[in-house]
Structure 1
Amino acid sequence: MKQLFLFGAALTILAAAESCKGKTSYDKTKSGLMYKIISDEKNPVVKKGEFLKVHFQQKVRDTVLMSSFTSLPEYIRVDSVGPEYSPLEVFTMLRKGDSLVVAQITDTLEKKGMGQLPPFMKKGDHLLLTLRVLDVFKDEAAVEADREKEAEAFKEGEVKVLQQFMASKKINAQPAGKGVFVEIQQQGTGAVADTGKTVSVMYTGTLLDGTKFDSNRDTAMNPTKQPLTFTVGQQQMIPGFEQGVKLLSKGAKAKIYIPSMMGYGRRPMPGGKGYDHLIFDVEVVDIK
């Protein structure tokens, strides 16, 4: 509850910064970076070499450029940083439970070597970062343990989304393991595509809303319409695709439903936003 209150205060400052940039009260680093830390100061300040576990959001005007609040937290190693007009300057001042707002002026970013501004940024804009410190870890081993725990919990939530989607469409799919589901539409013959076997497939990949992002059946994407051939178990494909194909034999036709954590993760597919759940409509042409 305390962290939510602190972050709510950070959002209030962020809103004030957007609506009335000149009147918002910021502190400044030696480089001129504007920042505001909201803290109850009950926890110790992070030490050099430790790691911050954070959720963050970055905006320009009303456009959200990046955000982790609906996905997975980030982990940032804290080191001493001299004046360089970067949020890294401020991270050494943070504590567990703190919220932070950082405002970078685009004109200053350009002067300090950012180069030409991207199309979504104009002179006089403020690049606004809002960040909440969830935890502090002393070493990489603790970070990796927590990262795995967060990823597993996130994947469980994704699987529930897939299950709800399939239930709403009355899709009869069987679990293939690791959060992947397979709807077999035509049974094949012979042995299934087990580890070590070379598999050739025709496929079409879509998002849950039907947006097509890849297909070797589409001549615009694959002029020769050649099958995709790969060896199962050699990590040549995304994990969810391999996991689903393992249930299929030669001649099988199926749809494979894949949570984003077994797909492309945060990388957005064409037409997607990152952390996209995937559907692959596949036909197994051959298994050797």
Structure 2
Amino acid sequence: MARAVALLRAAGIEDPARDARALLAHAMALGPERLSLHVGDPLTEGQARAFGAAVAARLARKPVSKILGRRLFWGLEFRVTEEVLDPRPETEILVAEALREPFSRLLDLGTGSGCILLSCLRDRAGASGLGADLSAAALDVARGNARALGLGERAAFRAADWSAPGWAAGLAEESGRFDLVVSNPPYIAAAEMGGLAPEVRGWDPALALTPGGDGLDAYRAITAGLCDLLAPGGRALFEIGPTQGAGVAALLAAAGLGGIRVLPDLDGRDRVVGGRRPG
């Protein structure tokens, strides 16, 4: 572990000791909190190989969560792969706002690992939800997470492409309308991609990071379909980048929503925009 910490530190990893502990515990099939109880144990040959491979992956700037294959979010454990966006703590602001009012039918657009949809459903007994995504591989991950969390009967998943003509009307015709629509769509502008951390740029799917251009295309497409998707009085909530609050709020207003609010994250940066369909 000491050698791993030194290697990770030399590579510029932000918290090398934390990462080395997590990777060693994973190689030994232990919970991280139990590692100190086994620190004197010799590694088996297989454990040593697994630890070496994990450290090599981290040196290549693969995120620890994707080496372990799991990420804690909203107090729940989600399986994550290279086919889905790695859930981030700031996205919990969106979940908290979603849970601020009751809902019975929830739509999560660009569901990825399903972390937003499933976190909301776990805290709303009796509610049901639909997760939609363009990626078939992401939908497979989300379905697996729903089963693992005991939410398979309340969460459904389907393919959807919000860039396709009539997508929202077709989805509403098949699935009905929703009293809450949430989304953490790709919102990074093309010019900003080069400045992302290598853990993000190299290991999260580009489809989940950027729509190209100014980063607002997904919001334009989704807000244009909101009146097809939302029941009267229903809410829409979006995660945004820190400079996009005014732009996304204007799109919600143009779509006919009222009560528009821009909410900050714990660092005071704009993080969530929400509005309500009149009714």
TM-score w.r.t. the length of structure 1 is 0.25
Structure in which a larger fraction of residues adopt helix: 2
Q: Which has the larger radius of gyration?
A: 1
TM-score w.r.t. the length of structure 2 is 0.25
